[in-house]
């Protein structure tokens, strides 16, 4: 969660040490005991892969961190929103909730007139759900996410004319 939020806030590098690699466990299979400091393992490495693939799918070098002037959470106050935008063209966002109970969120986004493709990414499994915004007249648009637990990423890209 911290890596998604940091990178989609405009951070350039997220360094996470994986303590599951040891001299006796060169394959990253070390099992952590209860209360032992450190972290890592196959699960988190897979989640970092999902983040890397998401970032490779966008032109993040031309994007800037989003502000509440263009994207906001409508309703669900326990959620945080981080993201990058190339205003009018593409948006990469991550919604994080403190509550792990499955629920949907509603965001408001200021979009120009046109059509857009939305891709929701489950940050734990990498599965995607697709949606469209057709013939938006311009201005604020409410978008309801699929139900998710803890966090979800979404990509909004303007469709070619």
Tens digit of each residue's pLDDT (9 = 90 or more) over 29-86:
878 777 776 677 788 888 888 998 999 999 888 899 998 899 999 875 678 899 999 9
pTM: 0.83
The model's pLDDT over 103-115, given as tens digits with 9 standing for 90+, comes to 899 999 999 999 9
For residue 41, which of 23, 19, 22, 24 has the smallest C-alpha distance?
A: 19
Percent of the chain with pLDDT over 90: 49
Q: Is 26 exposed, middle or buried (0-12, 13-18, 19+ CB in 10 A)?
A: exposed
Q: In degrees rounded to 5, what are phi and psi of residue 50?
A: -60, -45
pLDDT of residue 152: 94
Q: Mean pLDDT for the chain?
A: 87
Bridge partners of residue 150, in order along the sequence: none
DSSP assignment string, 10-29: T-S------TT-BTTBTTS-
Coil/strand/helix, residue 77: coil
pLDDT, position 76? 58
Task: Let me know if 105 is exposed, middle or buried by CB neighbors in 10 A (0-12, 13-18, 19+).
Answer: buried
Q: What tokens appear for 33 in the block?
A: 């005991």
**Exposure on the CB side of residue 73, measured as CA atoms within 13 A:** 16
What is the β-pairing status of strands 114-122 and 79-86? unpaired
């Amino acid at each position: 969660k911290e890596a998604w939020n940091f990178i989609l806030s405009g951070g350039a590098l997220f360094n996470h040490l994986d303590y599951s690699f040891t001299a006796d466990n060169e394959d990253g299979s070390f099992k952590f005991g209860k209360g032992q400091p450190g972290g890592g393992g196959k699960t988190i490495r897979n989640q970092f892969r999902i983040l890397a693939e998401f970032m490779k799918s966008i032109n993040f070098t031309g994007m800037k961190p989003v502000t509440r002037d263009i994207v906001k959470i409508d309703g669900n106050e326990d959620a945080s929103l981080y993201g990058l935008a190339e205003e009018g063209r593409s948006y990469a966002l991550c919604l994080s909730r403190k509550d792990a109970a499955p629920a949907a969120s509603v965001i408001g986004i200021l979009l120009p007139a046109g059509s857009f493709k939305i891709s929701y990414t489950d940050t734990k499994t990498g599965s995607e759900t697709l949606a469209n915004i057709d013939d938006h007249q311009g201005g604020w648009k409410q978008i309801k996410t699929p139900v998710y637990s803890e966090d979800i990423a979404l990509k909004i890209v303007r469709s070619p004319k």
